[in-house]
Amino acid sequence: MEREALTINPAKTCQPIGAMYAALGIHGCLPHSHGSQGCCSYHRSTLTRHYKEPVMAATSSFTEGASVFGGQANLVSAIDNIFTVYEPDVIAVHSTCLSETIGDDLKQISTKAKDDGKVPEGKYVIHAATPSFVGSHVTGYANMVQAMAEQFAESTGNKLDQINIVAGWMEPADMREIKRLAKEIGVKIQLFPDTSDVLDAPQIGKHVFYPKGGISIPDLKSTGDSKYSIGLGCFSGEPGAIALEKTCKVPFQTEDLPIGLRATDRFLTALAKAAGVKIPDSITDERGRLVDVMTDMEQYFDGKKVALFGDPDQLIPLTEFLVDLNMKPVHIVSGTPGKRFEQRMQAILSETVPDANIKNGPQADMYLLHQWIKNEPVDLLIGNTYGKYIARDEDIPFVRFGFPILDRIGHSYFPSAGYMGGLRLAEKILGVLMDRQDRDAPEESFELVM
């Protein structure tokens, strides 16, 4: 079907959910949705389905009146109510299509709330504009992370021996892994946002409104004094690093999310260089184990065609990793717009898969991906839960990766980042490919040893 206008089965969602997820990575923060009640409810439900965790967020509960006269009164009274009853350290307000269209100015309203004495001493309100009709959930995440940097980082002139890692959209497990790697290398980092110990919280027999994880306010403020920043992911992490450079003159570089071998190499090299340390043998051994599995199992990856979809910052290093495994990513779709996606993809694929189908932005949806797969079948599909329809229709082995994953667990507990994450991805890919080989093997060639 030729389409000019509509989207069928989207490969993205809207900005506010990204802002809500990012805000949960500050300790003691209550995300606040400045819009209708439904937005907040949908985002909380989706995050809950993905993490199997309670997700706390408040809403301005827009009514008809607010939509005519502006949402200022709603937001000011919301801020007042929230600090009185829920007692967060921070309220992270994001807008919605509704409040953006009526023209609410979050900065001005937050200032008014503060002037009116609604923000207690030592408490904070930060705000990010996240209109749903621009970009995608990835944009919303980036905007909230940028807001954290702009509105918290302080430059005291007293440089600290620490490196900022501005986390692109990653799972709590990945953030935990990055902290582990940094510790192993011996570098003090400030990772933000940090949703580990927030959205993978242990069962302790009670519901903790503000779980123990998340970057603390003093740590977040100190990012302005760090000697360097690494922004992970040019879509979701870089804007925060740029903001730190602008507001506090912290120099930065952008790296891909450390997914797969080479992206992890680049990240760790950059981190070690910025901190002036050497990569320890323990990490080199981890790397060696990943390379060992890649070489041991090389025959099973060779030439397999892959279709993948999801968010740009994940897809870029993942595609590179697949190419390094001698696989052929032939169809790649992301609903998130941005020119750098196609540029990076072409650079990665120009030699190995020069005629790969790559599309992001408008009409880059699951319908398009399905059409491509029908025209040129693949051996493997990688993406979020919504891929299961295509996987079933076309009988394709399917690895769940990305956001949201609504029908499996593991993504929040086991990293995809770092060398160990690379091992996990390789294991998952091999698992489905080999299951398929076993399923389809004729009796005589059904093999015990693979």
Partner 1 sequence: MEKIGILEGREKQVYEKKGDSAAIDIKCETTSLSGSVSQRACVFCGSRVVLYPVADALHVVHGPIGCAAYTWDIRGAVSSGPELHRLSFSTDLKEMDVIYGGEKKLHQSLTELIAQYQPKAAFIYSTCIIGLIGDDIDAVCKKVSQETGIPVLPVHSEGFKGTKKDGYKAACDSLMKLVGTGSTEGIGKYSINILGEFNLAGEAWIIKKYYEEMGIEVVATMTGDGRVDDIRRSHGASLNIVQCSGSMVKLAKMMEEKYGIPYLRVSYFGIEDMSMALYDVAKHFSDNPTILDAAKKLVNREVSELYPRLQHFRQALEGKKAAIYVGGAFKAFSLIKALNSVGMSVVLAGSQTGNKDDYEGLKEMCEEGTVIVDDSNPVELSKFVLEKEADLLIGGVKERPIAYKLGIGFCDHNHERKIPLAGFVGMYNFILEVYNSVMSPVWQFAPRKGGLS
Q: Which of residues 184-213 bind partner 1 (CB under 8 A)?
A: 201, 203-209
SS3 190: strand
- Judge contact between 75 and 113, C-beta under 8 A: yes
Sheet with 226-232, edge to edge strand ranges: 189-192, 160-166, 226-232, 252-255
Establish whether the linkage from the previous residue to 404 is cis, with ω within 30° of 0.
Answer: yes
Binding to partner 1 (CB under 8 A) within 6-25 occurs at 6-10, 12-17
Beta strands in 121-167 (DSSP E): 124-128, 160-166
CB of 231 to partner 1, least distance (A): 25
- Going from the C-alpha of 184 to that of each of 216, 272, 282, 286, the distances in angstroms are 22, 11, 8, 11
**What single-letter DSSP state applies at residue 159?**
-
Nearer to partner 1, 133 or 249 (CB): 133
DSSP 241-266: HHHHHHHH---EEEE---BSHHHHHH
Structure-derived torsion over alpha carbons of residues 325, 330, 333, 337, reported in degrees to the nearest 10: 90
Q: Which is nearer to partner 1, 6 or 277 (CB)?
A: 6
Output 301 or 403, the one with its CB closest to partner 1.
Answer: 403
Binding mask 380-399 toward partner 1 (x if CB under 8 A, else -) reads ------x-------------
User: Whose Cβ is closer to partner 1: residue 61's or residue 437's?
Assistant: 61
**What's the CA gap between 124 and 202, in Å, rounded?**
27
143 binds partner 1 (CB under 8 A): no
Q: Which stretch binds partner 1 (CB under 8 A): 46-54, 166-174, 257-265, 345-353?
A: 46-54
Q: Cite the beta strand spans of 122-216 per DSSP E.
A: 124-128, 160-166, 189-192
Q: How far is the CB of 73 from partner 1 (least distance, A)?
A: 8
Q: Which is nearer to partner 1, 40 or 268 (CB)?
A: 40
**Coil, helix or strand at residue 359:** strand
- The smaller minimum CB distance to partner 1, of residues 235 and 321, is found at 235
Please, which residue, 226 or 334, has the CB nearer to partner 1? Answer: 334
Minimum Å distance from CB 402 to partner 1? Answer: 14
Which residues, 6+ apart, have CB-to-CB distance to 68 below 8 Å? none
48-107: contacts with partner 1 (CB under 8 A): 48-49, 52-64, 66-67, 74-75, 77-82, 84-86, 96-98, 101-102
Identity (one letter) of the amino acid at 437?
Q
Helices (H), 206-250: 217-222, 238-248
Query: What is the closest distance, in whole angstroms, from the C-beta atom of residue 370 to partner 1 in the complex?
Result: 11
Cβ distance to partner 1 smaller for residue 71 or 258: 71
Q: Is 228 strand, coil or helix?
A: strand
- Residues 225-284 touching partner 1, rule: CB under 8 A, are none
Of 57 and 318, which CB lies nearer to partner 1 in the complex structure?
57
Question: Do 257 and 314 form a contact (C-beta atoms < 8 A)?
Answer: yes
Site for partner 1 in 320-379 (CB under 8 A): 335, 362
* Among positions 131, 329, 397, 422, the unique one binding partner 1 when judged by CB under 8 A: 131
From CA 20, how far away is CA 45, in angstroms rounded?
Answer: 12
In whole angstroms, the minimum distance from the beta carbon of 407 to partner 1 comes to 11
How many residues line the site for partner 1 (CB under 8 A)?
79
Q: To the nearest whole angstrom, how small is the minimum distance from the Cβ of residue 127 to partner 1?
A: 15
Q: List 26's β-bridge partners, or say none.
A: 215
Enter the tokens of residue 67: 């939509």
**Interface region with partner 1, contact rule CB under 8 A, candidates 129-137, 173-181, 228-236, 302-310:** 129-137
Q: Least Å distance between CB 98 and partner 1?
A: 4
Whether 304 and 380 have beta carbons less than 8 Å apart is answered as yes
Min CB(74)–partner 1 separation in Å: 4
Using CB under 8 A, pick the residue from 25, 35, 224, 338 that binds partner 1.
Answer: 35
| Residue among 56 and 241 whose Cβ is closer to partner 1 | 56
